[in-house]
Amino acid sequence: MFINRTILILKIMKRTFFIAAVVLFLVSIGFAGFKCGNPEINSSKSGAAESAARNYQTYCAGCHGENLEKFSAKKWMDEKDNSGVEKSIKYGNEQIGMPAFAKTFSDSEIAALASFVKKGIPGDKSLLKPAVIPGGIVESEVQDFVVDTVVTGLDVPWGLAFLPNGDLLISERSGKLYRFANDKLSAPIDGLPDIMAKGQGGLLDLCLHPDYANNGWIYMSYSALNTKSVKATGNTAIMRARLSGNKLIEQQVIFKGKPYTDRGHHFGSKLAFDKNGHLFFGIGDRGQHFDFPQKLDNDNGKIHRINDDGTIPKDNPFVKTKGAMPSIYSYGHRNSQGTCINPLTGELWVSEHGPRGGDELNLVEPGKNYGWPVICYGINYDGTILTERTEKEGMEQPVYYWNPSIAPCGMTFLTDDRYRKWNNNLFIGSLRFEYLERIVLNKHTVMHTEKLLQGIGRVRNVVVSPDGLIYVAIENPGKIVRLIPIESNETKK
């Protein structure tokens, strides 16, 4: 097993050697990710600044932020002129293996790029968050790993689902579905439903039926567009379909959330199957927290449970409650974007966005009220008090909450020995602070947390592949990376 993993690492390192060398050079000046080759920049003085800015946003913002906040602090940042950064770019640094770019870019191209970067660096260097270097070994608290970039050229990748043959289905919030196979991204897959791609809405999560090998069902959540309304309205819906070539066939819309609204936020909605074939998903409060979450006559602000064909399980908690939506499993939720089953216990765990502060990790049980907006550990975005209460009889407390908010999105349990020191840990993405959070649980208690991949970008999703590797979806610019574990003689004990 160790030999196989070593071979895998060597292959990855070989494939990324050239990129890593370029990246390491640029990191020596606090600047990584510049594309090799001649960018064909207009070298005229009038267009130099514009070309440098365009090239930075195109090739560098993904690693170093749109506002240049993800550099390592370097001496050249405090120099009066640009000679230091220009010299580093042009001549490199042989002592640390950094190549020179004197033959790659003209002096005017180097000068324009250096000037753009120098002017854009934040004055407060404590705000800098160095980017993770693809191909470099990352030393976390107990597990070393390599960040391997798998897919690029995306925008806001939302759902990830692996087919049995290893191909990866990727949903884009804009309303596109792709298949990544043989290191290539397919053309958009045909056959999607009418989608209200507005604000936080669009094509959302993906998952396969537990018996996909025999029935071929693919499930997707999306913000369904109400085609009968003059005004653009919609709500979260669930469709299942089969894949034939590059087209969805036999589409069946098995759930539509009600009521439709014109709001463009808080759609939920991650998908998770339990061992009995029940499908769980959340719908957010649709931005109307005083109208929906505490009432059972609507689908918003709830966690739902349905059968694989959209019918309602007979033992759902509110099936016999007059006026209640029968798919409701729990209520009093704000906007859940992490839904997963603990494979060891079968328990349903949900992460959800709070307002300003008060993001929550919840252990969800049938029929229970999770309090939103009556109780909360956050405040309104404008700083005003939302509620004075953080607890109330008959309402559940979160297992854990974040203050300030991390904007949790995507969540998965790791139950595989590929990462020996992370086994049975929970992983959650942070949109706001741009990292992957590792959570150590002891039954229902959070014992420890660790921030991984700090500064890598807004983490939209995290899943575990069939071969046990962690895949992370990052947005704007969108890409998919995976974490390759490395065992060393210095492995933390």
Question: Does one domain contain both 237 and 98?
Answer: no
346/292 same-domain check: yes
Residues 190 and 62 in one domain: no
Find the mean pLDDT for residues 120-146: 75
The two three-digit tokens of residue 48, written as one number: 């130099």
- Hey, which of 40-54, 105-119, 242-256 has the most confident mean pLDDT? 242-256
Q: Are residues 310 and 248 in the same domain?
A: yes
Is residue 30 over pLDDT 90?
Answer: no
Domain termination residue (choose one: 389, 405, 421) = 405
Residue pLDDT, tens place only, 342-352: 999 999 999 99
pLDDT, tens digit (0-9, with 9 covering 90-100), for 411-442:
999 998 899 899 999 999 999 999 999 999 99
Residues 123 and 189 grouped into a single domain: no
Query: Count of CB atoms within 10 A of residue 271's CB?
Result: 22
287 domain residue, yes or no: yes
Who contacts 371 (Cβ-Cβ below 8 Å, separation ≥6)?
332, 392, 395, 396
The answer to the question of residue 92 being in a domain is yes
Q: Rounded CA gap, 329 and 342, in Å?
A: 17
- Of 375, 405, 435, the residue that ends a domain is 405
pLDDT at 16 over 50: no
Band (5; pLDDT cuts 50, 70, 90): very low
The answer to whether 412 and 339 have CB atoms below 8 angstroms apart is no
β-bridge mates for residue 248, sequence order: 243
216 and 93 part of one domain: no
Residue 263 lies in a domain: yes
Identify whether residues 210 and 350 lie together within a single domain: yes
Catalytic residue numbers?
266
Examine the fold and report which residue of 360, 384, 405 is the final residue of a domain before the chain moves on.
Answer: 405
For residues 178 and 66, state if they share a domain: no
Higher pLDDT: 4 or 57? It is: 57
CATH number at residue 77: 1.10.760
124-133, 187-196, 267-276, range with the lowest pLDDT? 124-133
CATH number at residue 187: 2.120.10.30
Domain assignment present for residue 491? The answer is no
User: Which tens digits make up the pLDDT trace of 213-268?
Assistant: 999 999 999 999 998 888 899 999 999 999 999 999 999 999 999 999 999 999 99
* Pairwise CA distance, residues 343 & 348, whole Å: 9
Asked whether residue 185 is domain-assigned, the answer is yes
Task: Compute the average pLDDT of residues 288-306.
Answer: 97
Going by pLDDT thresholds of 50, 70 and 90, the confidence category of residue 8 is very low
| Distance from chain centroid for Cα 144 | 21
Tell me, yes or no, whether 119 and 197 share the same domain. Answer: no
Q: Is the pLDDT of residue 303 over 50?
A: yes
From the CB of residue 29, how many other CB atoms can be counted at a distance below 10 Å?
A: 24
Domain with 286 in it: 156-405
Q: Please give the model's pTM, rounded to 2 decimal places.
A: 0.75
Does one domain contain both 194 and 281? yes
* pLDDT tens, position by position, 357-376: 999 999 999 999 999 999 99
The reply to whether 28 falls in a domain is: yes
User: Tens of pLDDT along 260-296?
Assistant: 999 999 999 999 999 999 999 999 999 999 999 999 9
Q: What does the pLDDT average to over 140-163?
A: 95
- DSSP three-state, residue 397: coil
Q: What is the pLDDT of residues 315-333, one digit of tens each?
A: 999 999 999 999 999 999 9
Return d(Cα 184, Cα 175) in angstroms, integer: 19
Q: What is the mean pLDDT of the chain?
A: 86
Q: According to the model, what pLDDT value does residue 99 have? A: 52
**Domains of the chain: total:** 2
CA angle 228, 229, 230 (to 5 degrees): 125
Q: Examine the domain organization and report whether 113 and 237 are in the same domain.
A: no
- Residue in 276, 394, 388 with CA at minimum distance from that of residue 330: 394
In a domain, 143, yes or no: no
Q: Is residue 486 part of a domain?
A: no
Nearest alpha carbon to residue 87 among 64, 116, 107, 60: 107
| Together in a domain, 256 and 324 | yes
Residue 13, pLDDT > 50, answer: no
90-103 per-position pLDDT tens digit: 887 533 334 567 87
